[in-house]
Structure 1
Amino acid sequence: MNENGGFIRNNINQFAFVYRLIDILIIQLCLAVSAFAYIGKFDVRYFVLGLISNMAYLFFAELFVLYRSWRNGSFKEMLFYTVSSWLLTLFPLFLFLFFTKQTEYFSRVTLGLWIISTTTLLCLWRAIFRQFLISIRKKGYNTRSVGIIGLTKRGLDLANEIVNYPESGYKLTAVFDERAPERLDGKFLHKLEGGIADGVRLAQEGKIEILFVALPLTNKARIENILKELGDTTVDVHIVPDVFTFNLLHSRMGHVGEIQTISVYDSPMRGGYSIMKRIEDLFLAFSILTVIALPMLIIAAFIKITSPGPVLFKQDRYGMDGKKIKVWKFRSMRVMDNGEVVKQATKNDPRVTKFGAFLRRTSLDELPQFFNVIQGTMSVVGPRPHAVSHNEEYRKKVAYYMLRHKMKPGITGWAQVNGWRGETDTVEKMEMRIKYDLEYIRNWSIWMDFKIVVFTVFKGFVGKNVY
């Protein structure tokens, strides 16, 4: 099942060692060929440079979990993480050359050829190998036989995924359910091989390699009994989360001493992921600020000319883990409400200045928040921060509202690019925004952030409910 399905951890790629080895060879060989092609030699210094790049690349690849199983993953996402790992490798590499004062020794043309050829081949071999796997899996090779216990809603969704995407390498062999056939969805009745006992029997006979248990987790006793019986087999067993588990945020295994635990509400910003997110934020913030610095100065001048008052407005918001932060904005109103009651801007709101209305419609009033990003209180992508008074109001009305603070607030977000930005004058609108915020936190990845940034450029700056 793909990573968006809410599994506790990513599947392990059984060929990860081979993939690492191929990547290492590509990096070294591309450097050697580039050096021989342009300067006619490949000496010890170039070899050491290649070794350093190998170590750095493997480090960043591990941060991006590049060597996980991509059986059901997005090919574009895999290429994105491959290129990202390689480009990030260049930073420590160039720092090494700078601090060891060896920049003059290495040919710039050679390094340029190496960087381009390595980027190309790292992606190309993955594309060729993926197409090879897809072709043989469609012919029935390199597949694993799958059985599903329980034709529940989640069980049916899983069966559809397996049947619709044969390139995943899963082959639906049988389904099992204790209910009478007339009570089941008719789509997979031809795969029905009996009840739970029949599923265990086929597993014991080696006719099924993977069993997915798709029963509701409330049926604890039955699931325990199934797992006990399957303990007498060598089949791989997976529990498919029902709706309750699917709503958990980043479920994962943990332990306190010898006691094993499962997290219920957790943040994805742990360990290497928090480092990745911070690097992404700093890179995007500094890059964007170099482009928007002059427009920001012009906007500041227009604010001063068109209405009395300060250029910037700092408002209290909730940040990561619900801690208060000061969010910077260009002032767009004649008032600067920051108390216990903050009224959201509405259509033709008299508090909004004429120039401020333009800033709000185009989201230009939010540009100073890139300084919040550099400061570390916000991210470029994340759930949009609400005024403290709105938080206190809606946390009582919308289920799971405060879970949106399991990540830093962002300048743009998944809810915004899906049309849920601007005024939230009804509980239903806020519920939809929270729905997308939690979906973002559950499925967060650097690739998802990249897509949101691209979507923001094309459709995220304006909205029909923005006043």
Structure 2
Amino acid sequence: MADSDATPAPGLGRAAGAGEAETTPEGGSRRRAPFARSIYGDIVQFIDFILVTAAAPAAAYVYHAFVIAADVDLQRYLAAGILGATGATAILRRDGFYEFDQILSPALGVRAVVSRWALVVLGLIAFAFSFKISESFSRFWLFAWFATCAVALVTTRFVAGAVLRRAVKEDGAFARRIAIVGSNDAAQKFAELARASEQAVSIVGVFESDLAGASARKAAVVDGDLAALARAARAGAIDDIVIAEPDASAERMDALVQRLSVLPVSIAICPTAYWLNHTGGELARIGGAPVLNLYRRPLEGWGGLLKSLEDMALGGALFVLALPLMAAIAAAIKLQDGGPVLFAQKRHGFNHSVFRIYKFRTMTVAEDGDRIVQAHPGDPRITPIGRFLRRYSLDELPQLINVLKGEMSLVGPRPHALAHNHAYAQIIENYSGRHKVKPGITGWAQVNGCRGETSENELMEARVRYDLAYIDNWSLWFDLKILSLTVFAVLFPKNAH
């Protein structure tokens, strides 16, 4: 290899030892971290273990000494604390919450950390009941221990994250230094996505991949050739090399990887620019073959069961509570003009299955054919009572019947009339992706103001973006958040007519 020349690569200075200053490609300087990034996760895990363990006897002592003024066997509570700390740190380690990048952005995992701690406590309660030792522990202590540790686990992450972010911002000490081999669209896209991330990533430079050492470089883009890259890697200025050569032949990639494999850095292969455009994808394996999952199956694992239980439990309770109101609305509609109380219309549901949606009749017509005119402000077809019902979304209450029948969900993409559905599917990209889950009475789009008439394609496109974001990010907590926001949207309606 032609890497014996001591001249530094363009934009790269002398590599620094641990804790010494190092020149960056941008011309500034930074200090390298004294330890590997992974060690800081171990430190946070150790702190979590100590806090959870110590909180158990501490809470017991405070309760028995100052609340009930009684003696206490702290050894028993210390044992419970050790069990809880072992379980909590083990499950947090398993799920990646001690990874450096996760600690760097703690706000993203607060709810997940607390929910996992709650799962550990529930497991300890089940353990205590199974061995008939639950009476040895105070319920007040259990609640105090749980609350104290939840706050401690969250606080530890925020403090550690603040310290690490400050170090990254001020001197780049923890930045993962990436060198890109290849000057093409994939390399450019990779660099763009890496820099946009909240994680501590520093792009050292883009290097030409010409194995022959030819000088066919773009001076404004490329920072050096493979020889310069090798010098920088051996000097300790690079942590990872990403090869961005999606169109290279197998022989060329073998030669390139073989030449770079002797360097003391991690080496990865960048996917194509098309793959990088699917930023929601994640790496997985099917058998022994690595793949990039572009879309995950909606409601996978326990998701489908949890959502069904949510619909049956909350839907049933809401139906019972709404019965008196629905009876009053039905009587008012019947007294108004003697017409039918309910309006039924065919709509597409899960996986494009067709069902009949129920609503209180709010108009003088009941369209359900190939041409349906959407309601608009001042529409003369809307009855006086119907105008009030539509403003506060009370006409949607009969859809609780659809929920109990399993045709709809409380939360999900709003279903549209068949005629509109066919039309939008032809002109809006990924529109049909909304049918990967059951339609809902309310949805993420509706609580964000996307409701009412969709006379312009841009309005429907915005609604579709919210619907697809909901499907990709579904969780039980997300559903509860949308239901809570729906109450506000109903009391203070916008775009309803």
Common fold, TM-score beyond 0.5?
yes
Instruction: Please tell me whether residue 298 in structure 1 is matched to residue 325 in structure 2.
Output: yes
Q: CA deviation at 1:136?
A: 2.8
| Residues 144-293 of structure 1 mapped to structure 2, 5 A cutoff | 144-149=176-181, 150=183, 152=185, 154-155=189-190, 157-158=192-193, 160-161=195-196, 168-176=199-207, 180-181=218-219, 192-194=222-224, 198-199=228-229, 202-203=232-233, 206-212=236-242, 219=247, 221=249, 224=253, 230-233=260-263, 234-237=265-268, 239=270, 242=273, 245-247=276-278, 250-255=281-286, 257-271=287-301, 274=303, 279=306, 282=309
Given that 1:154 and 1:240 are in contact with CA atoms closer than 8 Å, whether structure 2 keeps it comes out as no
Q: Does the aligned pair in 1 maintain the 2:316–2:404 contact within 8 Å?
A: no
Paired AA for residue 387 in structure 1: A
Residue type at the aligned position of 2:54: L
Deviation at 1:457, TM superposition (A): 5.3
Check 1:106–1:310 CA distance in 2 against 1; reply closer, same or farther (3 A cut): farther
3-state secondary structure, aligned to 1:356: helix
**Pick from 333, 349, 359: which aligns with 2:389?**
359
Distance of 2:95 and 2:406 partners within structure 1: 21
Cα RMSD after superposing both structures: 4.6
CA gap 1:250/1:284 in 2 versus in 1, 3 angstroms: farther
Contact 2:424 2:431 in 1 (8 A): yes
Measured in 2, the distance between the counterparts of 1:248 and 1:170 equals 17
Determine the C-alpha separation between the residues in 2 that align with 1:452 and 1:432.
17
Determine whether 1:135 maps to 2:135. no
The secondary structure found in structure 2 opposite 1:123 is: helix
In 2, Cα distance between equivalents of 1:71 and 1:207? 24
Structure 2: distance between partners of 1:38 and 1:354: 62
Deviations 1:45-77 (A, max 9, x none): 767866776687579858976455544874333
C-alpha distance in 1, partners of 2:106/2:81?
A: 27
Q: Distance in 1 between matches of 2:178 and 2:387?
A: 57
> How many residues are matched?
438
- Could you tell me how far apart the structure 2 residues matched to 1:401 and 1:408 are? 14
Change (3 A) 1:271 1:288: closer
Distance 1:244 1:387 in 2: 35
| Partner in structure 2 of residue 423 of structure 1 | 453
Post-superposition shift, 1:209?
Answer: 0.8
Q: Distance in 2 between matches of 1:265 and 1:359?
A: 38
Deviation at 1:145, TM superposition (A): 1.6
Aligned to 1:110: 141
User: Structure 1 residues 304 and 392, CA, compared in 2 at 3 Å: closer, same or farther?
Assistant: same
Matched, 1:81 2:112: yes
Query: For each residue in 1:191-235, what CA deviation from the matched residue of structure 2 results, as whole angstroms up to 9, or x when unmatched?
Result: x523577546644664311234567x5x45599576565445432
In structure 2, C-alpha distance between the alignment counterparts of 1:123 and 1:436, rounded to whole Å: 29
1:189 alignment counterpart: none
Matches within 5 A, 1:83-98: 83-87=114-118
1:396 aligned counterpart, secondary structure: helix
Distance 1:42 1:252 in 2: 50
Structure 1 position 287, deviation (Å): 6.4
Structure-1-length-normalised TM-score? 0.72
| Match status 1:31 vs 2:59 | no
Distance in 2 of aligned mates of 1:377 and 1:65: 37
Distance 2:398 2:98 in 1: 38
For structure 2, the residue ranges without an aligned partner over 5 or more in a row are 1-36, 65-70, 209-215
Report the counterpart of residue 423 of structure 2 in structure 1: 393
Pair 1:297–1:331, CA change in 2 (3 A): farther
TM-score, normalized by length of structure 2?
0.68
Structure possessing the higher radius of gyration over alpha carbons: 2
User: 1:424 aligns to what SS in structure 2?
Assistant: coil
